[in-house]
Structure 1
Amino acid sequence: MSAPPMALEPSPHLLVPFASASAPECQAMLKALKLPQLEALLAELVLEHTDPGHDHSLSAPHERAQAQALGIVQADGTVFPDGQIPWAAAYSETPTTPQAWFTPCHFQVGMDQVTLLPADQFGLDDAHARPLFDALTPYCREDGITLTYESATRWRASGDVLKGLACASLDRVSGRTVDGWLADNPLQHAGSQLLKRLQSEAQMLFYTHPVNDTREAARQPIINGFWVSGAGAAAVAPATDAAPTMPDALRQAALRGDWAAWQAALAELDATHIRALREATRRGEPVMLTLCGERHAQRWTSVRRGAVARLGQRFKNLLGSNPAWKVLESL
């Protein structure tokens, strides 16, 4: 995910990434899902907002929803354009400075496509990441980019060239062919050309680095490049007090393409977080539920408990509601 992982503290807003996915394997299992708590909860809530999108947007629906919840918006209060949510700058001490995440990756070259595997999917550690970071740093400096080591799988880049840059998030490209995400970039930005050159230099630099000789000998994926994401500058830091609860198990399973694990994670979510949200609704507490697929996000809120609202909700329940899988299918 573009934002750093957030603590799973109780919150009246539950935001669910990858509540559905576009993969045929996921779509095929939706009708068989048993989600009694979600179905009952949706019958108690009102659909407040739909954020429409498509499978090839640069920012995933859950990232757009998270940015909105945290107040990560442009200076005029409007949402950032696709691919320009400045996650790196927002989570820094200087949010107005243009920044980005550089994520070391393995680019798997096939017969007619190149697939990206981020380093956090195969356990890159400091012993291997740090020498590669040190090798790349002077090349970045020559291009006006300051590189800071934050972890083995996340390097912070700072520089004016990163301002206004549109780039696909890791959740969009992870495990997928990268060509389309590069070609679909809507901005003709000078920085994108500089970064493509820097990525090419990194590919050659890393390919001959002793770290990769060690990794090959151990039959580990080599690090042959990096991906740029979360670029730009933020007007303000995120409103962490408004942070939604964001379970990560569905997202992790979906990015691995492990649909059995995804189904199990959804059942667990139904029995825990969804159940808790339903119980809060029954107590009359205000709650919010955001369900995100790979195209759209939908935000549901609790019904006001005035007499008219209660009558309207009773009428809605008499008419019946869509089964939960129908809602997930629409995402």
Structure 2
Amino acid sequence: MPAALPPPQHHWVLPFAACASDDWLPAVRAMPPAASRHLGKLLQGMKLVHTDSGDVRSLTPPHERVLARALGLQAPDGLIPWAAWQHLQGGGAPAARAWAFITPCHWAMGREHATMTDPAALDLSEAESRTLLAAMQPYFETYGITLHYAAPTRWLAEGELFRDLPSASLDRVLGRNVDPWLPGTGSVEARFGAGPPQTETAPAGGSVLHEVKSVGARKMRLLQNEMQMLLYTHAVNDARATNRQLAVNSFWISSSGALPDTFHAKAQPDTAVSRSLAHAAFSDDWAAYTQAWTALDASEGARLLALQQGGATVRLSLCGESNAFTFETAKTGIFSRMKSLFGQQPLSVLLEQL
């Protein structure tokens, strides 16, 4: 019986390795073999160790589920407590309080729905962000929520309302219609209809969504309406309009939930999360997407391959919008290697299963 391998020393997580867009598959199939040369060799020395099967309509995308599983942050869909985790990592008390991220953002208003613009496009300064936080804080306080500044487009929000309030990841809604993903929207059928979701209105995900009936969801919708009215005439936005910058006209709630008092994170390998594929997908730029694959293969792919060939145990998680495959270094003979899941097939064959 072969000796067991040591725990993985390195973990590479690739969000949006597959996408729901109709333009994704033709772009990936058109990539030359050289674009995944290192990745192909890396996978030939690996075995599939975990499959995360999900639903395209879940609130939590596969890559967040993969990272949460690695840490031991198991929670229902939309309630992986990343905000509470960040608070704890920042030296906060491990009390089981409820937290969420609040992202000041811009909704592009169309004739039928609002579309979420990438918050990075705001180029929001710290001074602007802190001014808006101070103006919004009293309104949040009426709902028992305290805001804490973390970064220009990320605030920590503490409040009991977030304990059982599922929220959609920003990665579900960027560049897409916000309506199906708002708190309190309801069941899968209510949010997307009985048929399969359309890319524009139904980004991707994992587990089955549940009804959101809480009072907290209704309060968050009211608060969002109040903040849209406040922000419409705020001096920060007047100044931004003068400078031809996008207005901050709403906010997004994500990563809601609470950590138990007894929570202890699992020991983690060195983890790299590559976001270049995601950014290209959000922009619907498939030329940039395929270029990102080539660059990732030449950088992180080559690095992990060298580590694996040097005897290190490495892990790779390829994440789509529904599912994720996690591979790990395996001791394989020549015959097993020939039967490798990846083998000599094009990368697209494997990615289509995501």
Q: Under a length normalisation based on structure 1, what TM-score does the superposition of the two structures give?
A: 0.88
Cα distance in 2 between the residues matched to 1:280 and 1:206:
50
Match of 2:274 among 247, 268, 280: 247
Map 1:122-161 to 2 at 5 A: 122-161=122-161
Partner of 1:212: 237
Partner of 2:352: 329
Question: Retained in 2: the 8 A contact 1:103–1:118?
Answer: no
Q: Given the superposition, is the C-alpha separation of residues 165 and 258 from structure 1 closer, same or farther in structure 2, using an over 3 Å criterion?
A: same
Query: How far does residue 54 in structure 1 lie from its aligned partner after superposition?
Result: 2.5
Cα distance in 1 between the residues matched to 2:213 and 2:141:
23
Cα distance in 2 between the residues matched to 1:180 and 1:325:
30
Name which of structure 1's ranges 19-28 and 168-177 shifts more when overlaid on structure 2: 19-28
Partner of 2:50: 49
Partner of 2:22: 24
Question: Retained in 2: the 8 A contact 1:104–1:118?
Answer: no
Query: How far does residue 322 in structure 1 lie from its aligned partner after superposition?
Result: 3.2
Q: Given the superposition, is the C-alpha separation of residues 237 and 100 from structure 1 closer, same or farther in structure 2, using an over 3 Å criterion?
A: farther
Cα distance in 2 between the residues matched to 1:55 and 1:317:
28
Query: How far does residue 257 in structure 1 lie from its aligned partner after superposition?
Result: 2.3
Partner of 2:303: 276
Cα distance in 2 between the residues matched to 1:255 and 1:318:
29
User: Higher helix proportion, which one?
Assistant: 1
Partner of 2:203: none
Question: Retained in 2: the 8 A contact 1:91–1:237?
Answer: no
Partner of 1:61: 62
Q: 1:116 and 2:116 equivalent?
A: yes
Query: How far does residue 39 in structure 1 lie from its aligned partner after superposition?
Result: 1.8
Amino acid at match of 1:24: D
Question: Retained in 1: the 8 A contact 2:98–2:159?
Answer: yes
Deviations 1:57-103 (A, max 9, x none): 1011111111111222xxxxxx2111111110011113421000110
Query: How far does residue 327 in structure 1 lie from its aligned partner after superposition?
Result: 1.0
Query: How far does residue 266 in structure 1 lie from its aligned partner after superposition?
Result: 1.0
Partner of 1:104: 104
Query: How far does residue 248 in structure 1 lie from its aligned partner after superposition?
Result: 2.2
Name which of structure 1's ranges 214-223 and 96-105 shifts more when overlaid on structure 2: 214-223
Q: Given the superposition, is the C-alpha separation of residues 49 and 191 from structure 1 closer, same or farther in structure 2, using an over 3 Å criterion?
A: same
Q: 1:203 and 2:228 equivalent?
A: yes
Question: Retained in 1: the 8 A contact 2:79–2:165?
Answer: yes
Name which of structure 1's ranges 106-115 and 255-264 shifts more when overlaid on structure 2: 255-264
Deviations 1:27-69 (A, max 9, x none): 2111122312222222221111111112221011111111111
Structure 2 residue runs of 5 or longer lacking an equivalent are: 1-7, 186-190, 192-208
Partner of 1:75: none
Cα distance in 1 between the residues matched to 2:341 and 2:141:
65
Question: Retained in 1: the 8 A contact 2:105–2:122?
Answer: no
CA RMSD, 1 decimal: 2.2
Query: How far does residue 262 in structure 1 lie from its aligned partner after superposition?
Result: 1.8
Q: Given the superposition, is the C-alpha separation of residues 317 and 154 from structure 1 closer, same or farther in structure 2, using an over 3 Å criterion?
A: closer
Query: How far does residue 160 in structure 1 lie from its aligned partner after superposition?
Result: 0.9
Cα distance in 1 between the residues matched to 2:257 and 2:342:
47
Map 1:171-182 to 2 at 5 A: 171-182=171-182
Match of 1:89 among 80, 84, 88: 84
Deviations 1:2-36 (A, max 9, x none): xxxxxxxx952111111122222222111122312
Structure 1 residue runs of 5 or longer lacking an equivalent are: 1-9, 73-78
Question: Retained in 1: the 8 A contact 2:47–2:340?
Answer: no
Query: How far does residue 286 in structure 1 lie from its aligned partner after superposition?
Result: 1.4
Cα distance in 2 between the residues matched to 1:288 and 1:173:
28
Amino acid at match of 2:222: R
Counting matched residue pairs gives 312
Cα distance in 2 between the residues matched to 1:320 and 1:176:
36
Q: 1:261 and 2:262 equivalent?
A: no
Identity %: 38
Question: Retained in 1: the 8 A contact 2:53–2:324?
Answer: yes
Give the 4+ runs in structure 1 shifted more than 6 A.
Answer: none
Name which of structure 1's ranges 177-186 and 262-271 shifts more when overlaid on structure 2: 177-186
Partner of 1:297: 324
Cα distance in 2 between the residues matched to 1:19 and 1:97:
34
Q: Under a length normalisation based on structure 2, what TM-score does the superposition of the two structures give?
A: 0.82
Amino acid at match of 2:139: Y
